[in-house]
Chains A and B, each alone.
Chain A
């Protein structure tokens, strides 16, 4: 009986939507836990790309960046005279305060959580594993999904950093940011960063992976919609 249930849930190429969704939901907890445990490795490629792109996209604002687990620690040039003026836990002592023209002894470090933009991948994998197709096709979808999620993470990290400079910081620090990169003063740029942040946080992380799954399994989606179970082949292994 257990074997029959297992076969029905994980192996047969049933096209009934409820069974497909049940399969996806059964995969999901295991995949979410695995994804969370492997997060530092899975996020590394996206964070490396973000490390390279961020100083180009936010000129004059970033001194250096550092990868810590699934966080990108962004060392900015924004500073204060006391650490209490910076958000708690976000301050670092300026290394070259004594020897350079740097005005501030304490500088702002912004930790950006890249995992907030990557949770679509376990959902994509769950949908893909629940979809009846060959292992080659599943691997291709999962691989493409990983690349897509890397791009979404870079988008998310970039726009959340930019949005942080404009809307989250105290007025004095935001003024410093605007002085270092005057384009931040423009209202259209502020709107652009706010919209990019909201898209990157609310829609793209899971919307795009689901669209990728639907695009890669278009014929299966058609069968789910039309309920054309008569054309389901007998199960075979690949």
Chain B
């Protein structure tokens, strides 16, 4: 992987995501759709849920979660995009990797939103721990997994000869 290309792409996309016009016409509608999908899934088995825009609420407790920047998985998608674009492969392989990768990230992200919604109803303290320290890391671990699986797939389909690898010891 071209590390410099990865860093440049990452910072560039991160800066673009921050532009007001991008936030208004791309990120906010995307986040609203994400909230709507999460709420629709919740309503399948829980009639106590209502949603409006980026906010999902419990009708009985009145507690709500708002899906803000940083909670929509966009930063994880940016990291994956930068990594895949910086890795030598065909455009077809990249597009397949990006589409499946985005799906993997957003499936886990919806799981995160749903779990955090119920965690908030149960205990504010554990909600904060899961929200700030646990899920954020798991989403990026998901990016790593997707990227490794994609690189394996790319290399299986190519005629690239792997370098002579050193012996490894276990610990």
A residues within 8 Å of B by Cβ? 11-13, 15, 17, 21, 24-25, 32, 36, 113, 115-116, 119-120, 122-123, 129, 131-135, 137-138, 194-195, 198-199, 201-203, 205-207, 210, 219-228, 231-233, 235-236, 238
Known: A123-B141, A133-B168, A226-B162. 15 other contacts (CB 8 A): A11-B170, A12-B170, A17-B145, A24-B141, A32-B133, A116-B133, A132-B171, A195-B15, A198-B14, A198-B70, A199-B14, A202-B70, A222-B163, A228-B165, A238-B170
Chain A residue at smallest Cβ distance from B153? A225
Q: Are A195 and B162 in contact (CB under 8 A)?
A: no
Q: How far is the CA of A210 from the CA of B144 in the complex (A)?
A: 8
Interface 1/0 per residue, B146-171 and A, CB below 8 Å = 00110110011000001101111111
Chain B residue at smallest Cβ distance from A32? B134
Most buried by A among B136, B145, B156, B171: B171
Main secondary structure of the interface of B (DSSP, over half): helix
State how many angstroms separate the Cβ of B109 from the closest Cβ of chain A: 13
Q: Are A219 and B171 in contact (CB under 8 A)?
A: no
Q: List 14 A-B contacts (CB under 8 A).
A: A13-B168, A17-B148, A119-B136, A131-B171, A134-B169, A138-B171, A195-B18, A206-B140, A219-B165, A221-B148, A226-B162, A231-B167, A235-B170, A238-B169
Complex contacts, A205 vs chain B, CB 8 Å: 136-137
Complex contacts, A25 vs chain B, CB 8 Å: 141
Q: Are A119 and B167 in contact (CB under 8 A)?
A: no
B residues within 8 Å of A by Cβ? 10, 14-15, 18, 69-70, 75, 79, 129, 132-134, 136-137, 140-141, 144-145, 148-149, 151-152, 155-156, 162-163, 165-171
Q: Are A225 and B148 in contact (CB under 8 A)?
A: yes
A-B pairs, 9 with minimum CB distance: A13-B170, A226-B162, A132-B170, A206-B140, A202-B75, A119-B133, A225-B151, A123-B137, A132-B168
Complex contacts, A134 vs chain B, CB 8 Å: 169, 171
Complex contacts, B149 vs chain A, CB 8 Å: 17
State how many angstroms separate the Cβ of B152 from the closest Cβ of chain A: 6
Q: Are B169 and A233 in contact (CB under 8 A)?
A: yes
Q: How far is the CA of A135 from the CA of B171 in the complex (A)?
A: 6
Q: How far is the CA of A129 from the CA of B156 in the complex (A)?
A: 27
State how many angstroms separate the Cβ of A191 from the closest Cβ of chain B: 9
Complex contacts, B152 vs chain A, CB 8 Å: 17, 224-227
State how many angstroms separate the Cβ of B165 from the closest Cβ of chain A: 5
Complex contacts, A119 vs chain B, CB 8 Å: 132-134, 136-137
Complex contacts, B70 vs chain A, CB 8 Å: 198, 201-202
Q: Are B137 and A219 in contact (CB under 8 A)?
A: no
Complex contacts, A36 vs chain B, CB 8 Å: 129, 133
Q: A198-B18, A206-B140 are in contact. Are A219 and B166 (CB under 8 A)?
A: yes
Q: Are A132 and B169 in contact (CB under 8 A)?
A: yes
Q: How far is the CA of A201 from the CA of B69 in the complex (A)?
A: 11
Q: How far is the CA of A230 from the CA of B156 in the complex (A)?
A: 15
Complex contacts, A11 vs chain B, CB 8 Å: 170
Complex contacts, B151 vs chain A, CB 8 Å: 225
Q: How far is the CA of A15 from the CA of B169 in the complex (A)?
A: 11
Complex contacts, A116 vs chain B, CB 8 Å: 132-133
Complex contacts, B18 vs chain A, CB 8 Å: 194-195, 198
Q: How far is the CA of A206 from the CA of B167 in the complex (A)?
A: 28
Q: How far is the CA of A113 from the CA of B149 in the complex (A)?
A: 35
State how many angstroms separate the Cβ of B171 from the closest Cβ of chain A: 5
Complex contacts, A24 vs chain B, CB 8 Å: 141
